[in-house]
Chains A and B, each alone.
Chain A
Amino acid sequence: MITSLAIDRLAVSRGDRVLFSGLSLNLAAGQAVALVGANGAGKTSLLRVIAGLIRPEAGEVVFTDAADPVAPEDARSRDLHMIGHQDGLKTGRTAWEELLFQVLWTGGSRASAEAACQRLDLRRLLDLEVRKLSAGQRRRLALARLIASPRSLWLLDEPLAPLDAERRAFAGVLMREHLDAGGLIVAAVHDPLPVEARLFEVGA
């Protein structure tokens, strides 16, 4: 269980372009941080570095569990959710099949997947093929994965973009619950998050 995230003097470059350097950020359980910045400033790259998909030029990302450090591979493979711009859903399969796989893969169970569908009002969609779903519906499937498989750290890249106002509010409720349970959220956004979050500018 990750209880805190510490980023220390991170430097990231893409190709020959240095996105940012000397970036430091600390996050504890129950806290959320909203990454803001211009397009191309490096918000997505920062999320991917935390997730371990990109290697930084300098600096490090440290996960701790109640003062003991957690090995990054463990943290990333067991205790971290990432929702990016893409959802990883296979178009030829049904929504339920894909959701079930994603939930089981990330450590949830069939029962928790069903409960998540119930909460997010997804039951009507489940038998549809993924190619027939709208962007908002796919995003709700991703959110279902978040609550069906309990993992402490949520890395969200513009999570609310395809959702309408009502569903955004509901997503806020889910985030609030996650934070109250001791989770951490790092989200890259252009609009304010529906939960209170510290603002952090990337690429300043």
Chain B
Amino acid sequence: MFAFLYNPDRFMAFSRWAAPLFGAIAAVLAVVGLWLDFAAPPDYQQGYTIHVMFIHVPASMMSLFVYLCLAVASFLGLVFRQPLADAAARAAAPLGAGLTLLALVTGSLWGKPMWGTWWVWDARLTSELVLLLFYLGYMALQAAIDDEARAARACAILALVGVVNLPIVVFSVDWWNTLHQGSTLFAPSGQGLAPVYVPPFLIMIVAYLGAFGALWLVRIRAEVWRRRANVLAVRAAR
């Protein structure tokens, strides 16, 4: 049943219909979600900036989710020696980094009207920043090792080390933030979200998931094609 996960041909067949489907679902949901979001009344406390929340919070949740996907793919690639899993991990990294960057930028945009500065070192944003560093380190390692199989394995080890470290980092940043109480308190969303906001919020989350799924599948397809093209080119050169 899960043959499409490790057999490249079955995967290609699966993703041919799955990717556009996810993309379409994502597009529809995004439109619906954003429309509901803008139609919702402004928050009594945060005014119109609440709208940014619908983009920011799902982005930051997704950035963590993508890292988890990357770690799982890395694990499968490392333990079962599946090149498809390696390709999946490699493909997910830039998507995760992009999402993290989106979360940071929208977080900053959200914060400016509220705190008056473009950046504040609160627990969540700082953890996002460290997550971005994890992604960047992963991509840097990937780019620095020439041999593809070796690069994939080294990155897989790094991803697993990272996924173990991530909770520790989040915990330590959280602790650090409580130590330095003097900084502006930032009320995180998701804490008592008014009921009128919940449906668009959930829709946006699913939209993000769909978009990620579609993009990830497309990127993995591109990886598979690239490798096949490489093999053919090497063979032709003999």
A/B: CB atoms within 8 Å of each other: yes
Interface residues of chain A, those whose CB is within 8 Å of chain B, are 15-17
Distance in angstroms between the alpha carbons of A134 and B95 in the assembled complex: 53
Within 8 A of A (CB), among B102-119: none
Within 8 A of A (CB), among B213-238: 230-231, 234
Chain A residues whose CB sits within 8 angstroms of the CB of B234 once the complex forms: 16-17
Chain A residues whose CB sits within 8 angstroms of the CB of B149 once the complex forms: 15
**Looking across the interface, which residue of chain A has its beta carbon closest to that of B147?**
A15
Distance in angstroms between the alpha carbons of A152 and B19 in the assembled complex: 57
Interface residues of chain B, those whose CB is within 8 Å of chain A, are 147-149, 230-231, 234
**Looking across the interface, which residue of chain A has its beta carbon closest to that of B227?**
A16
Chain B residues whose CB sits within 8 angstroms of the CB of A16 once the complex forms: 230-231, 234
**What are 7 residue pairs bridging A and B, where the CB atoms are less than 8 Å apart in the complex?**
A15-B147, A15-B148, A15-B149, A16-B230, A16-B231, A16-B234, A17-B234
Determine the main DSSP class of B at the interface with A: helix
Closest 3 CB pairs of A and B: A16-B231, A16-B234, A15-B147
The tally of CB-CB contacts under 8 A between chains A and B is: 7
Distance in angstroms between the alpha carbons of A17 and B234 in the assembled complex: 9
CB distance from B172 to the nearest CB of A (A): 37
Distance in angstroms between the alpha carbons of A17 and B148 in the assembled complex: 12
Chain A residues whose CB sits within 8 angstroms of the CB of B147 once the complex forms: 15
Distance in angstroms between the alpha carbons of A15 and B150 in the assembled complex: 9
Distance in angstroms between the alpha carbons of A15 and B234 in the assembled complex: 11
Chain B residues whose CB sits within 8 angstroms of the CB of A15 once the complex forms: 147-149
**Looking across the interface, which residue of chain A has its beta carbon closest to that of B146?**
A15
CB distance from A10 to the nearest CB of B (A): 17
CB distance from B47 to the nearest CB of A (A): 57
Distance in angstroms between the alpha carbons of A15 and B147 in the assembled complex: 7
CB distance from A203 to the nearest CB of B (A): 14
**Looking across the interface, which residue of chain B has its beta carbon closest to that of A13?**
B149
CB distance from B125 to the nearest CB of A (A): 42
CB distance from B58 to the nearest CB of A (A): 40
Distance in angstroms between the alpha carbons of A15 and B149 in the assembled complex: 7
CB distance from A191 to the nearest CB of B (A): 29
Chain A residues whose CB sits within 8 angstroms of the CB of B231 once the complex forms: 16
Chain A residues whose CB sits within 8 angstroms of the CB of B148 once the complex forms: 15
Distance in angstroms between the alpha carbons of A89 and B189 in the assembled complex: 59
Distance in angstroms between the alpha carbons of A42 and B149 in the assembled complex: 18
Distance in angstroms between the alpha carbons of A17 and B238 in the assembled complex: 11
Distance in angstroms between the alpha carbons of A16 and B149 in the assembled complex: 9
Distance in angstroms between the alpha carbons of A22 and B231 in the assembled complex: 21
CB distance from B23 to the nearest CB of A (A): 32
Chain A residues whose CB sits within 8 angstroms of the CB of B230 once the complex forms: 16
